[in-house]
Amino acid sequence: MKSILRLDIDDARILIAGANAAADEIGVPMCIAIMDEGANLLAFERMEGGKVSSSTIAIDKAFTAAAAKRATHEYGAASQPGAPAYGINSAIGGRLMIVAGGVPVVHEGEVIGAIGISSGTPAQDRAVAEAAIAHWLAR
Amino acid sequence: MKSILRLDIDDARILIAGANAAADEIGVPMCIAIMDEGANLLAFERMEGGKVSSSTIAIDKAFTAAAAKRATHEYGAASQPGAPAYGINSAIGGRLMIVAGGVPVVHEGEVIGAIGISSGTPAQDRAVAEAAIAHWLAR
Amino acid sequence: MKSILRLDIDDARILIAGANAAADEIGVPMCIAIMDEGANLLAFERMEGGKVSSSTIAIDKAFTAAAAKRATHEYGAASQPGAPAYGINSAIGGRLMIVAGGVPVVHEGEVIGAIGISSGTPAQDRAVAEAAIAHWLAR
Amino acid sequence: MKSILRLDIDDARILIAGANAAADEIGVPMCIAIMDEGANLLAFERMEGGKVSSSTIAIDKAFTAAAAKRATHEYGAASQPGAPAYGINSAIGGRLMIVAGGVPVVHEGEVIGAIGISSGTPAQDRAVAEAAIAHWLAR
């Protein structure tokens, strides 16, 4: 057996509040997904105006960040045509997201969950994810 | 955050060895799947003669037992025609198994993973799963 | 390593010819699927008038018979409400067929493939599958 | 009928042991999947620290290598934008993997199974797969 740390529902609510605030600030309503360390869904909100298609995308960005223990945008360069991980985006039934907006939540060097954001541009999605984590770190 | 306990790969190997021994004893080669507490696959073996169709079934029995924190046979009565959980067996794309053979692994009252067995009769599958856990408890 | 026997494409053509003849005899055009021992599709025909929905059903009946090494109708009694395998029909994404019409092809006691038939009544499907195997045995 | 050779569970265990050793040597915990010649799962291990997302990816790399009888990295050049197999990576529900790490196991010129590795860089995954096969060849 081993012992691991994991986000709980209170953490998830803080992350969602942080994402809401950051999304409001830039005026882009978002879909927000929180996964725990086992890549299982903890919480989800589609803000008023968030895209329906982005529900699954936010969930899969958070899934990827939690399960692969890396931000989805880090797959970008590695999966371009000609690069080693080219084609990885259709893996796991298409759940492996390489578009920015999925970011792991890290505590003392360990990934304990992740947040996934979708509805804006990939840069906006990533910025909101990172702002949510900053909000959580400052809790 | 919260701290949880989870099966590790050494536990998985002990469980698989226990399942192999129990399957040999009754002369029924089995598919054996071990999930951790997050319902993620840790280890799998299809014994010589185990059924190909049982690979997915063993994995999904272990998934159900880990994710729902109950043995698959416990769904039996509750999901009969007319009973409240009738029809639950096709949930999660058919992954929610209600046939015996998926059993949670419990440590001090907490589910820390699960084992799923398939290829025999449901009663044989369950017996091998329980024997594997007994083998692990006696480690 | 181990050596195994498996249907080849010539066997598959003989089985399909036998199924065509048996289907013509009862006047029910059928979907006919042949799997090899690894539960991989070898050949398929939808006779003129065979049901489109039965394409997948015939394939999944043959899959079940090859992968589980038993005829699909044998699951019937075992999977009725209250019986041990109740609910198994939705396993493997619904591919595990318990309706008659999937029959293993056996050579010297070993399953070397399977045939799946669909479009008629389950009794007709099974009869055509068995007639096809009899035709193959008499080759 | 035809007779074919296929990996058995003992071969699978040797391949997994070889992969474990090679992964330890480079300090990258891996997901390791072994398929038989029929592209059916024989054995799987997620090493301590292997990525959860890589479980499916390792299994699907092994599936691709066994079923297509070629290493997954060989798809790289052929599936680049403008090349003939462009887009093949999303085939079979995304199971067809074109990222390095899936390698067939060959005996006397025949593919008898495959190994799939995931969690490192594609180059690391491939190196561990090849080391595992070398370990098996030296058995």
CA A11/CA B23 separation, integer angstroms: 44
Adjacent-strand bridge partners of B113: B36, B105
Residue C76: which pLDDT band, with cuts at 50, 70 and 90?
Answer: confident
CB D132 within 8 A of CB D116: no
**Residue B76 confidence (pLDDT):** 83
Two structure tokens written together for D133: 């096969």
User: pLDDT tens per residue, chain A (139 residues)?
Assistant: 999 999 999 999 999 999 999 999 999 999 999 999 999 999 999 999 999 999 999 999 999 999 999 999 999 889 999 999 999 999 999 999 999 999 999 999 999 999 999 999 999 999 999 999 999 999 9
B41–D47 CB contact, under 8 Å: no
* pLDDT at position B77: 82
ipTM, interface predicted TM-score of the complex? 0.95
Q: What are C57's two structure tokens?
A: 């059903």
Whether residues B46 and D9 touch (CB distance < 8 A) is answered with yes
**Exposed (0-12), middle (13-18) or buried (19+): which is B92, by Cβ within 10 Å?**
middle
What integer pLDDT is reported at residue C77 of this predicted model? 84
pLDDT of residue D98: 97
Nearest CA in chain D to C5: D3
Give the residue carrying structure tokens 């699951």.
C75
Q: How many domains are contained in chain A?
A: 1
Measured in degrees and rounded to the nearest 5, phi and psi for residue B114 equal -160, 160
B89/B93 Cα distance (integer angstroms): 9
Instruction: Output the six-digit token pair for A31.
Output: 């879909």
Q: Burial letters for B65-88: b for 16+ Cβ neighbours within 10 Å, e otherwise?
A: bbbbebbbbbbbeebbeeeeeeeb
pLDDT for residue B134 is more than 90: yes
Pairing of strands C2-6, C31-36: unpaired
Output the CA torsion C53→C55→C57→C62 (10° steps). Answer: 170
Is C91 close to B51, i.e. CB distance below 8 A? no
Domain-embedded: residue A4: no
Q: Do D1 and C112 touch (CB under 8 A)?
A: yes
CATH code where residue D98 lies: 3.30.450.150
* B46 contact residues in D (CB cutoff 8 A): 9, 40-43
Spatial contact of D112 and D40, defined as CB atoms under 8 Å apart: no
Could you tell me if residue D57 is inside a domain? yes
Burial grade of A76 (CB within 10 A; 0-12, 13-18, 19 or more): middle
The closest CB to that of D94, out of A69, A82, A93, belongs to A93
Residue A111 and residue A98: Cα distance in Å, rounded?
A: 18
Mutate to test the interface with C, among D4, D14, D40, D42 (most CBs of C within 10 A): D4
- The answer, yes or no, to whether residue C35 has pLDDT greater than 90, is yes
Q: How far is CA D82 from CA B74, C30, C112, D94, in A?
A: 54, 41, 42, 20
Task: Kindly state the DSSP code that residue D94 receives in the 8-state scheme.
Answer: G
Beta-carbon contacts of residue A96 (< 8 Å; ≥ 6 apart): A60, A64, A68, A75, A88, A89, A90, D53, D57
**Mean per-residue pLDDT of chain D:** 97
To the nearest whole angstrom, how far is the Cα of B45 from the nearest Cα of chain D? 4
The gap from C-alpha C56 to its chain's centroid, in whole angstroms, comes to 11
Task: Determine which of C41, C63, C92, C112 to mutate to test the interface with B (most B C-beta atoms within 10 Å).
Answer: C92
Domain range for A112: 9-137
- CB count within 10 Å of CB A93 equals 13
Cβ of B98 within 8 Å of Cβ of C92? The answer is no
- CB distance B72 to B61 below 8 Å: yes
Are chains C and A in touch, 3+ Cβ pairs below 8 Å? no
Q: What is the pLDDT of residues A51-78, one digit of tens each?
A: 999 999 999 999 999 999 999 999 988 9
Distance CA A67, CA B79 (A): 32
C62 in any annotated domain: yes
> Residue B1 domain-assigned?
no
Chain D closest CA to C113's CA: distance in Å?
10
State which amino acid sits at residue D65: A
In a domain, B2, yes or no: no
Pure H helices in A4-52: 9-26
The verdict on residue B133 lying in a domain is yes
Name every chain B residue with its beta carbon within 8 A of the beta carbon of C67.
51-53
Residues found in chain C: 139
Q: What does the block give as tokens for D85?
A: 């197999």
Q: Which residue of D has its CA nearest to C106?
A: D1
Cross-chain residue pair D80–A84, CB shorter than 8 Å: no
Backbone dihedral angles phi then psi of residue B120, each to the nearest 5 degrees: -95, -160
Contact flag A3-B8 (C-beta cutoff 8 Å): no
Residue A81: predicted pLDDT: 95
Residues of D in contact with A82 (CB under 8 A): 80
B38/D52 Cβ within 8 A: yes
In a domain, D75, yes or no: yes
As a whole-number percent, the residues of chain D with pLDDT over 90 amount to 97
DSSP-based three-state secondary structure for A17: helix
Query: What is the Rg, in whole angstroms, of the alpha carbon atoms belonging to chain B?
Result: 14
Angle, CA of D68, A69 and D46, to the nearest 5°: 50
